[in-house]
């Protein structure tokens, strides 16, 4: 079978790219995924969407993506509920250095039109009264940050792309890719397909896909864990986050609390098993910062892969070495919240349209010529 | 009896009609149904609904029930308060 474009990966990134291409009239697309819709990082993520970043690239990607989420249900004509809520992210500073860094972040965010405010502990406690007042020294708050359901959001993109003519093949694993005479030949466990254009949106496996065509994408998979509590009546509006205390915690519209933290020194591999170390550390962190939430029962813990890039910012570009090979990878834990802009940018690159954003800083070439990078610090 | 009155998942209050609607849309794996309906994600962790859904899928797909894979089993088996886990973790030191 021959298509104009093949996309590898049906997570939110692949589905957003498929939708944006199809909407612009390019619907001769095949999306291949080795498992079910959202089986990888999308369906395992913390479901938060925020604009409070320390680098310009991340701030702009996030801001435009939130603007899309605000109207996503209508734009995609989705029958279900994407469970979007905008009750902000409250990010806690716990050290003097962090307090100073946050002042810089707020200035950067404000200069880009993101309405973040710096708060005193008293102001933060008005927004989340059950915070331990001794656990932080100041905070930043952006009201338009929030949450949406990754399964529903991806389903919305998937349904819309399908309606516009895109083809999706699930439970089909890519085994080999050849590039001869400007044609990509993709061999899976079920068939052989050809296309002019190939897009690597394989999340945790994007490096492996690159290697199949001889491209060394400097990303790797790293396990991150999350847990969920029993649902209760609404008691917390915003996502509470701390980089130094290593925590994010939000009550989703369904009523349960989702929370996660990074376990240090994870190996670079595809392991997504659950660990008791995570559960212990998560429980202690919550007991310190949000003691009231500690009364809730944990129902389940799970894990997924971040696809880490050297500067913790995404790679969104066409490869210089390989014609018509596009990369959307290395989101470092934030592919879900950037997906609307990822889809728009990749579709504009492929169709030679004016770009909605300056994308030089998202190009893979930044890792070739430089040994030091501006690394995003605002990451859990 | 209407399919709307047959409860499949008690934790999330999902009925047979909702399950069949999604199966007819092409969501024919337990993993897919779980993510669209939250079946198996509640406090009982699928103890009630998963065998029922497995059987419904076997009938729908005309496959033996053992060919319908179940989702990954994850901790915890029973709900435990975070505070109790934190206390236990501190006592271990």
Query: Whole-number mean pLDDT of chain B?
Result: 95
What does CATH list as the number for A2-46+151-218+311-369? 3.50.50.60
pLDDT (average), residues A290-311: 97
CATH number of B3-91: 1.10.10.1100
Which structure tokens are listed for B86?
Answer: 């934190």
Q: What number is the average pLDDT over the span A185-190? A: 98
Model confidence pLDDT, tens digit, residues A230-253: 999 999 999 999 999 999 999 999
Is the per-residue pLDDT at A162 higher than 80? yes
What pLDDT shows up at residue B89?
Answer: 87
Cis amide linkage into residue B76, ω under 30° from 0: yes
What average pLDDT does range A144-172 have in this prediction?
A: 98
**Quick one: pLDDT band at residue B93, thresholds 50, 70, 90?**
low
In terms of CA atoms, which chain B residue is nearest residue A291? Answer: B83
pLDDT at A185 (0 to 100): 98
Domain layout of chain A by residue ranges: 2-46+151-218+311-369, 67-146+220-308
Residues A103-154: pLDDT tens digits? 999 999 999 999 999 999 999 999 999 999 999 999 999 999 999 999 999 9
Predicted TM-score (pTM) of this structure: 0.97
Tell me the domain boundaries of chain B.
3-91
Let me know if A24 is exposed, middle or buried by CB neighbors in 10 A (0-12, 13-18, 19+). Answer: middle
The CATH architecture to which A67-146+220-308 belongs is 2-Layer Sandwich (3.30)
Residues of B in contact with A297 (CB under 8 A): 43, 79-82
Distance between CA atoms of A115 and A129, rounded to whole angstroms? Answer: 22
| pLDDT for residue A61 | 95
pLDDT in tens, B31-55: 999 999 999 999 999 999 999 999 9
Phi/psi region, residue A113 (left: phi>0; alpha: psi -120 to 50; beta: rest), is: left
CB pairs under 8 A between A and B: 84
Q: Which of A141, A119, A165, A139 is nearest to A50 (CA)?
A: A141
Convert the pLDDT of each residue in A363-373 to its tens digit: 999 998 777 78
Is B76 within 8 Å of chain A by CB?
yes
Check B85 against A279: CB less than 8 A apart. Answer: yes
Residue found by looking up tokens 């890719």 in the block = A177
How far B34 CA lies from chain A's nearest CA (Å)?
10
Element (H, E) at A183: strand A183-188
The predicted-structure confidence for A26-73, as pLDDT tens digits, reads as follows 999 999 999 999 999 999 999 999 999 999 999 999 999 999 999 999
Is B41 at the interface with chain A, CB within 8 A? Answer: yes
For A128, phi then psi, to 5°, come to: -130, 90
Tens of pLDDT, residue by residue over A310-347, are: 999 999 999 999 999 999 999 999 999 999 999 999 99
- Name the average pLDDT for chain A: 97
Percent of chain B with pLDDT over 70: 98
Q: Kindly state the tokens that stand for A99.
A: 């307090």
Calculate what percentage of chain B has a pLDDT beyond 90.
94
| Interface predicted TM-score (ipTM) over 0.90 | yes
Residue pair A298/B80 in contact by the 8 Å Cβ criterion: yes
The first and second tokens of residue B10, run together, are 């008690």
Task: Indicate the residue of A37, A276, A294 with minimum beta-carbon distance to B82.
Answer: A294
Q: Chain A partners of B75 at a C-beta cutoff of 8 Å?
A: 274, 276, 279, 300-301
Q: Do the chains contact at B74 and A228, CB–CB below 8 Å?
A: no
C-alpha closest to that of A365 among A323, A319, A331, A310: A319
Per-residue burial over A267-296, b = 16 or more CB atoms within 10 Å of its CB, e = otherwise:
eeeeebebbeebbbbbbbbbbbbbbebbeb
Where is A337: in which H helix or E strand?
A: helix A335-350
**A34: closest CA among A162, A221, A208?**
A208
With a cut of 70, say whether residue B92 has pLDDT above it. Answer: no
């Amino acid at each position: 079978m021959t298509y104009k474009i093949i996309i590898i990966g049906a997570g939110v990134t692949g589905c957003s790219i498929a939708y944006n291409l199809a909407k612009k009239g390019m619907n001769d697309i095949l999306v291949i995924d080795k498992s079910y819709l959202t089986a990888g990082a999308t369906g395992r993520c913390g479901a938060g969407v925020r604009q409070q970043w320390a680098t310009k690239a991340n701030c702009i990607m996030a801001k435009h993506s939130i603007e899309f989420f605000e109207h996503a249900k209508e734009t995609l004509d989705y029958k279900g509920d994407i469970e979007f809520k905008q009750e902000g992210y409250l990010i806690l500073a716990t050290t003097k250095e962090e307090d100073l860094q946050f002042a810089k972040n707020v200035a950067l965010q404000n200069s880009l039109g993101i309405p973040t405010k710096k708060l005193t502990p008293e102001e933060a406690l008005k927004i989340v009264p059950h915070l331990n007042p001794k656990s932080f020294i100041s905070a930043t708050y952006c009201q338009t940050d929030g949450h949406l359901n990754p399964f529903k959001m991806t389903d919305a993109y998937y349904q819309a792309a399908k309606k516009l003519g895109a083809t999706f093949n699930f439970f089909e694993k890519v085994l080999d890719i050849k590039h001869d005479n400007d044609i990509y030949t993709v061999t899976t466990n079920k068939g052989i397909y050809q296309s002019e254009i190939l897009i690597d949106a394989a999340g945790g496996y994007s490096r492996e896909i690159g290697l199949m065509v001889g491209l060394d994408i400097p990303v790797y998979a790293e396990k991150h864990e999350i847990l969920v509590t029993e649902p209760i009546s609404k008691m917390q509006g915003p996502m509470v986050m701390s980089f130094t205390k290593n925590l994010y915690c939000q009550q989703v519209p369904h009523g349960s609390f989702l929370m996660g933290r990074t376990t240090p020194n994870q190996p670079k591999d595809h392991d997504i098993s659950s660990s008791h170390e995570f559960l212990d550390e998560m429980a202690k962190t919550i007991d310190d910062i949000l003691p009231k939430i500690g009364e809730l029962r944990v129902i389940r813990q799970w894990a997924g892969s971040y696809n880490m890039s050297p500067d913790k910012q995404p790679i969104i570009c066409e490869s210089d070495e390989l014609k018509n090979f596009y990369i959307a990878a290395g989101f470092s834990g934030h592919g879900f919240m950037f997906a609307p802009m990822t889809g728009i940018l990749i579709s504009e690159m492929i169709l030679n349209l004016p770009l909605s954003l300056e994308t030089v800083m998202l190009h893979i070439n930044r890792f070739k010529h430089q040994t030091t990078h501006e690394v995003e610090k605002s990451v859990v | 009896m209407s399919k709307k009155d047959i409860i499949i998942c008690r934790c999330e209050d999902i009925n047979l009609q909702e399950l069949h609607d999604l199966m007819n849309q092409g969501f024919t794996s337990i993993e897919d149904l779980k993510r669209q309906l939250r079946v198996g994600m509640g406090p009982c962790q699928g103890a009630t609904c998963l065998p029922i859904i497995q059987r419904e899928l076997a009938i729908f797909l005309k496959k033996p029930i053992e060919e319908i894979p179940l989702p990954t089993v994850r901790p915890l088996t029973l709900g435990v308060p975070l505070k109790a886990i934190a206390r236990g973790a501190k006592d271990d030191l």
